[in-house]
Amino acid sequence: MTTKIVTWEGASETELERLWNRSSVHLFSLVDSTNTRARELAEAGAPAGTIVIADEQSAGRGLAARRWHSPRGEGLYLSMLLRPRAVANPLLLPLLAGLATARAVASLLPSLPVGVKWPNDLIVRDRKAGGVLAESSWAGGAPSYVVIGIGINVHQQANGFPDPLRKAAVSLDVATGRRVSRLQLAGRLLSEVEATCLPPPAKLNDQLLGELNGLDWLRDRGCRVVFPDGEAFEGVGKGLAADGCLLVRNAEGSLRRVYSGRVAAEGLVTPDY
């Protein structure tokens, strides 16, 4: 289900291509998922840097096959196609895209405190304001493409989220008390994603690790990790390591390195968003 749109935030595809200095911007009023559309374009040979933006998603996707609430005109739903020659450590892509998202929001809204909850959540005032879904396709051990999908709650009102999300989510408008421009936010995201994610590093250097640890919302917070095999581990967040894993220390002092799994944290009402 796709409906092409003539303008988004008052600008046409051609105007946005000129504004953002790129060859391929695709605008949709309604799409199932901008990530799905970007993957289809990638399979059809679209160039690196292709952007897909929708005003509404009928099947927006989050991590672990969760749904991403994507009402018309309220959020920023954007996917970007990258074609890196190599991805030595795929775990770092969502982390770096999350960092890029935090950088973009912080540069547009400098007075807003932003955090990142490992691996991919943008946190504002202890609520989730956005998330990243990085999807890769591989051919013969090399990446054929990577799609970075970013969803940010922008214009939703405080009571505009459906019930399970109401206490967990926040929009940038509510957090700042003013109307935030989706157009400006998208422009900053595009340059930050490319600057931060390309070329994808094998490990986080000291500068990136320091920046991510400075934004780490789980730091010193009680949390419960559920690993993919169902094992649970409770402890306190102790930052990230250079390979991108989350460090969690339990009451007995044992330190676990978390590479995958779900992390529910004290103070975030529902982790399932």
Give me the residues that bind ligand BTN (CB under 6 A), please: 33-35, 57, 60-63, 66, 68, 77-79, 120-121, 131-133, 149-151
> Cα(102)–Cα(168) distance, rounded to whole angstroms?
18
Q: Can you name the residues that pair with 136 across neighbouring β-strands?
A: 146
Contact 262, 226 (CB under 8 A): yes
Minimum distance, C-beta of residue 189 to ligand BTN, in the bound complex (Å): 11
- Angle formed by the axes of helices 13-20 and 182-197, to 10°? 50
> Cα(46)–Cα(39) distance, rounded to whole angstroms?
9
Task: Kindly tell me which of 126 and 242 has the beta carbon lying closer to ligand BTN.
Answer: 126
Task: Kindly tell me which of 28 and 77 has the beta carbon lying closer to ligand BTN.
Answer: 77
Indicate the Cα dihedral angle 73, 175, 248, 195, nearest 10°: 60
Contact 34, 8 (CB under 8 A): no
> Cα(61)–Cα(49) distance, rounded to whole angstroms?
21
Q: For residue 16, give the amino acid letter.
A: L
Task: Kindly tell me which of 30 and 242 has the beta carbon lying closer to ligand BTN.
Answer: 30
Task: Kindly tell me which of 121 and 216 has the beta carbon lying closer to ligand BTN.
Answer: 121
Indicate the Cα dihedral angle 35, 40, 41, 44, nearest 10°: 160
Task: Kindly tell me which of 149 and 200 has the beta carbon lying closer to ligand BTN.
Answer: 149
Residue 59's nearest CA partner among 93, 34, 76, 41 is 34
Task: Kindly tell me which of 71 and 242 has the beta carbon lying closer to ligand BTN.
Answer: 71
Residue 228's nearest CA partner among 63, 13, 59, 60 is 63
> Cα(264)–Cα(234) distance, rounded to whole angstroms?
10
Structure tokens at 93: 């892509």
Residue nearest to ligand BTN (CB): 131
Contact 69, 42 (CB under 8 A): no
Minimum distance, C-beta of residue 35 to ligand BTN, in the bound complex (Å): 4
Minimum distance, C-beta of residue 158 to ligand BTN, in the bound complex (Å): 20
Task: Kindly tell me which of 168 and 242 has the beta carbon lying closer to ligand BTN.
Answer: 168
Minimum distance, C-beta of residue 70 to ligand BTN, in the bound complex (Å): 6
Minimum distance, C-beta of residue 97 to ligand BTN, in the bound complex (Å): 10
Minimum distance, C-beta of residue 33 to ligand BTN, in the bound complex (Å): 3
Minimum distance, C-beta of residue 273 to ligand BTN, in the bound complex (Å): 7
